[in-house]
Each structure stands twice: as structure tokens, then as C-alpha cells.
Amino acid sequence: MKALLVIDMLNDFCHKNGKFYSKRMNKLVKKVKNAIEIAKKKNIPIIYCCDNHEKNDIEIKKWGEHAIKNTWGCEIINELKPVSNNFVVRKRCYNSFGEGNLKTNLDNLLKKLKVKEIILVGGLTDCCILLTACGAFYRGYDVTVIKDCVDSISKKNHEKGLYYLRFLSNAKIISLRQFDKNY
């Protein structure tokens, strides 16, 4: 079984009024929507992994406030709102599986769904996508990344991210078209 993981497509990153709004992330919304529709067609479960921070989280010290829980900023952007058979995993660090005492329920959920391979879309290529891919790699999952459905704050960051995804997490990099036609 495969699962599509939609990482951090939240108001604070994708919406023009978001705290860390990025044009590139905003442009990604349409493509991620396509990936979600394809997954639905193929009966691949869809799991949203979403930043949901406490104000005193370690990450907040480095980056400043973003996706604080119970705020508009931490909500999934309107265009991609989950439906009832989707799953939502809330996280407080880059790695969607969690770190130390910030463990999430992602691993248990994947096991329950008998998932062996995760397919990643969303952002950022060189941050939460990369760290989640490494988290999956260490837990024995196969990792696939749809390259036109992930992005970062710049083209350079995005490309570096793709490089390390292959280099560190053994990720298979495919296109949206490949995902649709022969996956």
C-alpha cells in the first residue's frame, strides 16, 4: 500500500496573508491539488502532515512564530481542504514522524493502513520534505517524491533538497505525469 503525504500546505506558508508566505509555495497549491485528485482516483490514502506549534517550540526560536495551534495560520489552505476519509497528522517539528518527545501518530497510522511506500508533496523540499523522507527511510518505508509537487523558498534550495532526498533517503523522484500515468 502507498500513501500520499501532503506536507505543510497551510495558510502561513501558502496564502498571501500568511506569516511565511512564499510565491513559490502559493504556486504549488494547484499542482498539489492535481496530485491529490490523482491519488483519490487510484484509491491511495491521503495524509495531511501539518505544522501545529506551541509558542515555545524549539523551531519558533529559530524561525519566529508560524502555524501556531488554533490560529488561521496553521489551517490547511482552502483549496486543499481535507475531506472526511483523509487523515490529518499534527506536528511540531520538520520531521512528520516527530523527534524525541514530539513524536506524532504518523508511524502508527501508516502501519494501520499497511503502507510500505510514502509519496511526498508540499514543502519545503529542503526542510520538512527532506526530514520526513529521512524519518521514513529510518523506519523502513520506501520514499517517492513528486518533483513538480514540492518546492522551497528558491529554485536553488529546491534543487539542493532534491539532491539530498536522493542522496540521504534513497528517494525515487518522479513527475506528476508519471504519478498519473504509470504509478
**Shortest Cβ 172–Zn ion spacing (Å):** 26
**Shortest Cβ 8–Zn ion spacing (Å):** 8
Q: Which of 128, 120, 148 is nearest to 46 (CA)?
A: 120
15 — phi, psi (to 5°)? Answer: -90, 145
**Shortest Cβ 59–Zn ion spacing (Å):** 5
Which of these ranges, 27-35, 46-54, 80-88, 110-118, lies near Zn ion under the rule CB under 5 A?
A: 46-54
First CA to last CA distance, the chain? 12
Q: Which of 83, 100, 82, 79 is nearest to 91 (CA)?
A: 100
**d(Cα 176, Cα 22) in Å, to the nearest integer?**
21
By the rule CB under 5 A, 59 interacts with Zn ion: yes
Count of residues of this chain found to bind Zn ion when the rule CB under 5 A is applied: 2
By the rule CB under 5 A, 8 interacts with Zn ion: no
Q: Using CB atoms, what's the residue nearest to Zn ion?
A: 51
Out of 4, 28, 38, 51, the only residue in the binding site for Zn ion (CB under 5 A) is 51
Q: Which three cell numbers stand for residue 105?
A: 501518530
Give the binding site for Zn ion (CB under 5 A). 51, 59
